[in-house]
Amino acid sequence: MISTAVASFIAVFAALFPVINPLGGGPIFLNMVQGCSEPVRKKLALSVGVNAFFMLFGAMLIGPQLLLFFGISLPALKLAGGLVVVAMGWNLLNQSSSSDSQGGSSNGITDATAGASGFYPLTMPLTVGPGSIATAISLVAGSKTSKGFDYALEIPSIIGGFLGLVALSLSIYFIYKESSGIQRIFGVNGTNVLMRLFAFILLAIGVQIFLGGLDGFISEVYKELPAR
């Protein structure tokens, strides 16, 4: 039970961290809130962390059930989700830099406009985008073993995934809040090395989800074959 929760925690955190890439988004966040006072910056960082948690938790909670409601089979969901995660991992492994888009023109957030900026653009699309939402849905799809959902049997996975999202949200909050200091500590090279490591883990998770869907698809085809 504990091992299942730990595995779920690691899978959620390790898969979503490189997609969200708070280490790469921190300098952009800092650039966008330059016109804000320090207390307001901290409040915005907290707001982004909380918003990201609820968005990803909602995607993991209702996303797979919604897709299954529309008649998409569980193996198909795993195959598609695995391919999405593999693509995200591959793109992250091959991207040139973690700070390519720092020079954007969206740095006009001030104390007066901070209240309306916590969700857009700081949470979405800067922090949580379509890729992270698709990855969250894929993680849940990859862990499902049946079309139904037995909450009693899934309690360890739910606890681990919940704690993984909490840890991820706290990471986003801390990195955004301390973005200027972290940028100096890690530097560009350190940040890129760390993100390449998480991207490789993400790639491996995507392959595992895909293989799970492939196994389920082969099993369904085998069941449909006439008995001899």
pLDDT tens string 176-225? 999 878 777 877 777 778 778 878 887 888 888 888 889 888 988 888 77
Domain range for 84 is 2-224
pLDDT for 41 equals 93
Q: Indicate the pTM of the whole model.
A: 0.74
Cβ proximity of 84 and 13 under 8 Å:
no
User: Which residues 6+ apart lie within 8 Å of 114 measured at CB?
Assistant: 33, 36, 40, 43, 44
Q: Residues 36-39: contacts with CB within 8 Å, 24+ apart?
A: 36/109, 36/110, 36/111, 36/114, 37/111
Q: In the chain, what's the furthest Cα-to-Cα distance?
A: 75
**Closest to 133 in 3D by CA, of 203, 205, 85:** 85
Q: Could you tell me which of 58, 31, 60 has the C-alpha nearest to residue 44? A: 31
> How many other C-beta atoms lie within 10 A of the C-beta of residue 161?
25
Most confident option among 17-21, 29-33, 45-49, 57-61: 45-49
Confidence of residue 106 (pLDDT cuts 50, 70, 90): very low
> The tokens of 2 are what?
């504990």
pLDDT at 164 > cutoff 80: yes
Q: Is 141 exposed, middle or buried (0-12, 13-18, 19+ CB in 10 A)?
A: buried
Q: Give the model confidence (pLDDT) of 122-149 as tens digits.
A: 998 889 987 788 888 888 877 765 555 5
Q: What is the mean pLDDT of residues 54-75?
A: 85
Q: How many domains does the chain have?
A: 1
Q: State yes or no: pLDDT of 102 exceeds 60.
A: no
| pLDDT over threshold 80, residue 43 | yes
Question: What phi and psi, each to the nearest 5 degrees, are found at residue 33?
Answer: -110, 25
Cβ neighbours, 10 Å, residue 173: 21
Q: 90 or 1: which carries more pLDDT confidence?
A: 90
Judge whether residue 103 has pLDDT over 60.
no
Confidence band of 51 (pLDDT split at 50, 70, 90): very high
**DSSP secondary-structure letter at 146?**
S
Specify which of 19-28, 65-74, 117-126, 137-146 reaches the highest per-range mean pLDDT.
Answer: 117-126
- Who has greater pLDDT, 160 or 92? 160
